Structure 1
Amino acid sequence: MDEAHRISITVCGDGGCGTTRITLVSPVPVWLIEDVLTTGKSSITLRLVRSQWTHEYDPTIEDSYSVTRIVDGSTYHLALTDTAGQEEYRSLWATSNLRSDAFFLVYDITNASSLETLDYFMSMIDIERESRIDKGEVMPVCIVAGNKCDLQDARQVKSQQGLEWARGRRCGFMETSAREMVNIEETFALLVRRVVEARKLQASGGIPPEAPSTQTLSPSTQNEKQAVQSSTGVDSRPRPRPSGAQAKKGFWASLKCW
């Protein structure tokens, strides 16, 4: 496969505590421990690679996976690197991780501090952005995902908060659920599209926008506004706006999230 169809993606976020170690001494179900102590970034990665929800694994130091996906009729080879999330492992972040075509930053909507943790990774990505601007290289693509959108009753980070955090850092935004398979394929398809767009822009001598628009596919609670804004170049066709209770039902049903 030619290089134009190869895309490297670095997955990062707070890894929390190890589920395996705690399971030995705790009567709490493993899935609940995973929900409380990790963002689920590895679960998202394995969902894409294995098409199954995995919650029993050791804390990630760094794992690499390869997967092939067809996006807009073209086949792409995705090289995924699931990086160290725990604070004690962050120094192991290799320079090669920062050379990725795209970054997928994951936080846990039931853990407010996990969103703050992304500042660490974002600071390194910003340095890489500046370096690529100086060298005239293709800019990296960044998308932020608020994972565990199936746990609405435990939500600590509102959809709008995640959207504003991502928008302020020139990133795309989604809300996902690795367990319920919500927006997993859609998010990686969006990453692929944005990388393709960035490469075309670079090839044409274009200048990347200072703050690219943000696409969201996120559920919202009854007290939150529906935060959905289309991204330039990503299916920007006008769509009819449904109204009333039927529209709300259709929105939730399409996301399988409540």
Structure 2
Amino acid sequence: MATTQNTTSGSGSPRVAVVTGGSGGIGRVVAERLAADGMHVIIGYAGNAARAEEAVEAITQAGGTAAAVRADVADDDEVTALFDRTEELFGGIDVVVHTAGIMLLSPLAELDLADFDRMHRTNVRGTFVVSREAARRLRRGGALVNFSTSVTKLALPGYTAYAATKGAVDAMTMILAKELRGRDITVNAVAPGPTATPLFLQGKDQTTIDRLAAVPPLERLGRPEDIAETVSFLAGPARWINGQILYANGGAA
């Protein structure tokens, strides 16, 4: 039996989604996809207000509804304010997609601990803070989608510290799904493989890009739209998928 996208809340009004890191890269494409699915979208961003407003404008011009709110995902007060503002604008929250994160690459023996601490603050503490607020605010029938990485399985050299932070995301995701028993809220994580975003492509020569593109049996890099499609599924019709890490990597791992 075919599934259909769930675009309305229990009250019959459009569902409301918060997308952290929604001003660029995969996050922006996710925000645009959820808006196209019929959701009202709040774009959470860290610092680039102009880019966030561009994302809002793109959604609005396509017929959707969106607004931008600044928040440091690792700051408890700012995340609380982000959720408060969402409820003020749209009356509630049904979906939280936490795409915000940073990736600093280095062999373990050469990694500056300051870089490790930066990643830990954003990727681990940030996921904890956003997930905690989502657990407190999401309405029945809601969904939390965190972001992990396929590198936890691919075990690529240079990704040790980054993969370690995402391993923490996996643990939080699987346990929180069980802690929300009885709430009718799903908690999952998407684990992209190599995906053709400006951040991923930056600093890589064509030989490296071609080598990574050849890893999946589908023989290409992922596209942000591939990841957004996966998020759309978890945020809407996928009510029987819960507590899972969903690898969106074309079969690379």
TM over 0.5: no
TM-score band w.r.t. shorter chain: 0.3 to 0.5
Larger helix share, 1 or 2: 2
